[in-house]
Amino acid sequence: MVMEIFLRLAVVFFAAFCSAAGSKHVYHTPERRSTGASFGATYFVDGQYGNDSNAGTLQAPFLTLTKARDTIRSLKSSLGGSLPAGGVLVQVRGRDYPFLSAPFTLTQQDSGTAQSPIVYQSYPGDAPAHLLAGAYVTPNMYTPVTDQSVLNLIGNGTSVVQVNLKQLGILTYGDLATGSLGNCNNNKLELFYPNRVEISQWKNTSTLWLHGFWSYDWADNYVKVVSVNTTLSAFVINNVTTPPLYGFLSSARYYALNILEELDAVNEYYVDRGSGILYIYSPPQDKGCVSVGSSVISMTGVSYVSFVGFTMDCSRGTAVSASSAVNVTFSNCTIGSNGGSSLSISGYNNTLERLEVSGNGCGGISVSGGNQLSLTPGFNTLKDSSIHDWSRWKRTYQPGLSWSGVGNSFINNTIYNGPHSGILGKGNDCIFSGNVLRDLCYEVTDSGAFYSGRSWISGGNIVANNVFMNIITTEKVYLGSPSVQAIYLDDQMSGFEVINNTFINCYAGTFIGGGRSNVVTGNVYVNCTTAVHIDNRGLTWQPTYCSTGGMFSQQLQSVNYTQPPWSLHYPQLVNITTDHPCVPCYNLISGNIYCRVKQFVDFNSTIATVQWLANIFNNTQDCSVLNPPTSLTTASSASSPTTASSTSSPTTASSASSPTTASSASSPTTASSASSPTTESSASSPTTASSASSPTTASSASSPTTASSASSPTTESSASSPTTASSAFSPTTASSASSPTTESSASSPTTSSSASSPTTASSASSSTTENSASSPTTENSASSSTSESSTSNPLTGAYNPTTVSSNLSSGTREECAWLVSVVMGVCLSFIMTAVFNGL
C-alpha cells in the first residue's frame, strides 16, 4: 500500500513538473552558458582578471581580444591554414575593452569558413562586453578651476571644475570641420555620459564657428568665424576655406558655437584644445567616456566571422567598418554614441540583426554589396534592428540607413527621430519590408523619409508592407515651404514598386518626381496632405538629365543596357531613349485606399493618363480603415525596441505584421532621458519659435557678410546627442545670457548686403554650447520608451496595423497548465496502480 501511494504521488508530481517545464509562462530557466562544446576550439577573454600569458581557458583567460585573435592565427598556421572542425568560439567576459590607439583589426587571415566559422561572443550571463574607443573620466579626477584668466570669463564662485586630458594621456582633440553635402567630417573629441552632458565655448574668436542652413533648408554646414565686429554686432567668417554651402541667403537660420563663458548650465563642458583642459559645469556623479580612438573594429576581406552581444561606442569616427566582407554577422549588439556612424559594411551574404543604434554624430548604418554591372545580388540583410536619434553633428544627408548595391534586404527595422532622411540610397532589386519609419524629416524641407533619386537604371526595388508615420516638418523653416515626403523618388527616379504600405500623418505619401515605370498599389494613406504626387520635370525644368548624352544616357551606357543580363532583366530599358524619354510614363497608381487626405493626387489625372501614359484607377476613399477591431493593441509614439544589450535577442517594435505606430499625430517624439543621448533642444520642452527680431546682413562674394547679433546664448548639441522634434535651428525667444536656450539660433534671419567685401555673419541671435550625449544608447523611458496600449487608435481612429493579443493571460495559462498536469498525473497513477496490482 505504501508503495502504491508513493508511485501515485511520484507520477502526479512528475507530470506536473513536465507540463510546467513546457510552459514558458510558468518557469524561466537560467540562461545556458555556452562552453563551446560544438566548436573545435574555445578561448576565453577577461579584460579585468585575464592575462595574455594565460592559456585562454575559462579558469585562465586572456586579457585582450588581440591575444585571442593572434592565438587563432597561430592555431590556423599549425593546422596548415585550416581551422578545427566546428570552428572557434571566443567568449568575452562582460568587462571594458578600450581601443585607443588603434581599433581591433581583422584581415583576411582572420577569416573562418562555412564549416569552421569564428565567433566572438559576449559571455552569456554577463553584462555585454564593452568595446570602446575612449577613456573614462571619473568624478574624483575633477579639480577646481584656478586659472584666473579662465575665472575672468566664467566668474568666481562658479560650479565649473576641470580635468587635465594630457595627464590622462589624451593629446589630440580634433576640431570642427565645415562638412559638404553628405559629408560629415566629424572627428573631434567628445564627452559621453549615461546622463545629459553639454559642451560650450566663446570669447576667443579663433575657436568660433557657425552652423546653419545657409541657402536651402535641406543642406547644412559649418563656417569658421575669423573675427567679431563689435561695431556691426556681426561675425566675420572665412568665405574661402569654409564657405557656406550653396552660398549665403538673407533668411538663413544658424547658430554660433564654442563659447567658454557660457558654461552656466549643469553638465555643459568645454575643451581647451590648446591646454588640453576639459572644463565642465557640475559634472554627473558618474564616469564619462572621452572619445579618443577613431573606431572600435576594423575588418577588411574577412569572411565567416560573427560578433554577438557586444556594446561598442565612444569612437570619434565610425565605430565598426567591414569592407569586402563575406558571411560576416553582427547580432544583438548595441552600437551608438559615436562621432561618426555605428556600422558600415560592404560585401556579400552579411547579416546585421537585432542591433540597437543611436546617438551618433553622423549616420546610423551603411550597407552595400552586389555588382550592378553583372546584376549579381549581394544578399546582405539588415533585420529586426532599431536606429534612432542620430545626426547630432551633421543634420542632413546622414541617414539612419544608407544603402547601395544589388539584391539586399532590409526587413522589420524601426527607424525614428531623425532630422532628415531615415533611409537613403539607390541600387537594384533590393527589398524594404516590414519597417517602421516615424518622426523623420522634421527639421528640413524638400526631403524624404525614404529617399532615392536621379537614375533610370536603379530599378527592381520593392518597398512593401512598411509604416510611415509623422513625416512632417515641425521646425520653423525660412528657405522654402515645409514639404517633405514619406517616399521620395526624386529627379526622375524610376522602376520602384511601392506596395501595401501605410502612411499616417505625412505631408506627402508617395512622391514621384518625374520618374517612370513606378508602381504604387495597395497602400493606405491617412491624415496626409497629398497621397500621391507625379510631376513632369523632365519636360520642364530638368530636361538635361534625360536628353541624349545626359546623365541617364551615360548611366545606361555604363551597364551595357542593350546586352544581357540587363536586356533580359530590364527589357523596358532597351528602347527607353526612344520611348517617350523625359515623359513620366507608365506609372501605375491603383488599388490604394485613403482617408482624411486633402487630395489623393495633386496633378491632373486626365493629363497624366493621356499625355503621361499613366494608369490611375481603383483608388478609393474609405475611412473604415480607421476602425480596427478593439482586440488590436497599439504602441504609443514613444515606443521603441528594447536595447540589444545581451546575447539574448532584444525586443524590437518592428515586424511585418505589427509595426510600431506613434500615438502623437502632430510632432516627433523626443528621446532625451538619463539613459539616452542628449537632445539639441531642451530635454523637457522644445524651444519656442519667435519672429526674426534682429535681421542680419549677408554680403556676396567680395563684401563682408554680416549676421546681426543678439543677446541670448543657445546650446548646440555636439556629436554626442541627437536632436528632438524641436532642433537646434528653431528660433528662440529672447533670454538673458545667463540662461542659455538650446541650439536654436535662427531667431534672427539674415539680410543680404552688397557684394564687395569679406563675408561676415551675424552672431546668431544667441551664442551656443555643444551638448554631448550618453554612452548607453537606449531611448528615453519618459518620451520614447516602449509602451503598449490597448486604448483606441492614437491617431483619432487612424488605421494602425498591429498584432492581436491573446485571450488568455499568463496567469490563466499557468493555472491551465497545472490543472492539466494534475489530471494527467492522476490518470497515470491509476494506470500504474493497475499494473502494480496485476504484477
pTM (whole model) above 0.75: no
Q: Which amino acid type is present at position 343?
A: L
The three cell numbers of residue 152 are 575672468
Close Cβ partners of 538 (under 8 Å, ≥ 6 residues apart) = 492, 514, 545, 546, 581, 582, 583, 584
- On whether the CB atoms of residues 333 and 356 are closer than 8 A, the answer is yes
pLDDT at 244: 87
Mean pLDDT in runs of 10 for the chain (839 residues)? 49 44 32 58 98 98 98 97 97 96 96 98 96 90 88 79 89 74 75 57 66 90 81 75 86 80 78 89 86 95 98 95 98 95 98 97 96 98 98 93 98 97 98 98 96 98 98 91 94 98 98 98 98 97 95 97 98 96 97 98 96 97 76 36 37 36 35 32 30 33 34 33 33 29 33 35 37 35 34 33 31 42 52 51
Residue with cell 514598386: 497
- In whole angstroms, give the CA distance from residue 162 to residue 567: 66
- On whether the CB atoms of residues 154 and 276 are closer than 8 A, the answer is no
β-strand partners of 227: 236
- In whole angstroms, give the CA distance from residue 585 to residue 579: 9
- What beta strand segments (E) does 785-827 contain? 788-789
Among the listed residues 652, 836, 611, 777, the one whose alpha carbon sits nearest the alpha carbon of residue 8: 836
- On whether the CB atoms of residues 770 and 715 are closer than 8 A, the answer is yes
Instruction: Classify residue 130 by its DSSP letter.
Output: E
- On whether the CB atoms of residues 405 and 230 are closer than 8 A, the answer is no
pLDDT at 716: 33
Instruction: Classify residue 763 by its DSSP letter.
Output: -
Peptide bond into 565 cis (omega under 30): yes
pLDDT at 37: 53
Burial 601-611 (b: 16+ CB within 10 A, else e): bebebeebeee
β-strand partners of 44: 91
How many CA atoms are closer than 13 Å to the CA of 599, on its beta-carbon side?
10
pLDDT at 194: 64
pLDDT at 804: 27
pLDDT at 571: 97
Burial 95-127 (b: 16+ CB within 10 A, else e): bebbbbeebbebeeebbbeeebbbbbbbbbebe
Task: Let me know how long the chain is.
Answer: 839
> H helices of 64-117, where?
65-78
How many CA atoms are closer than 13 Å to the CA of 612, on its beta-carbon side?
29
- In whole angstroms, give the CA distance from residue 808 to residue 811: 8
- Count CB atoms within 10 A of the CB of residue 351: 17
Provide the 3-class DSSP secondary structure of residue 556.
helix
- On whether the CB atoms of residues 107 and 300 are closer than 8 A, the answer is yes
pLDDT at 284: 80
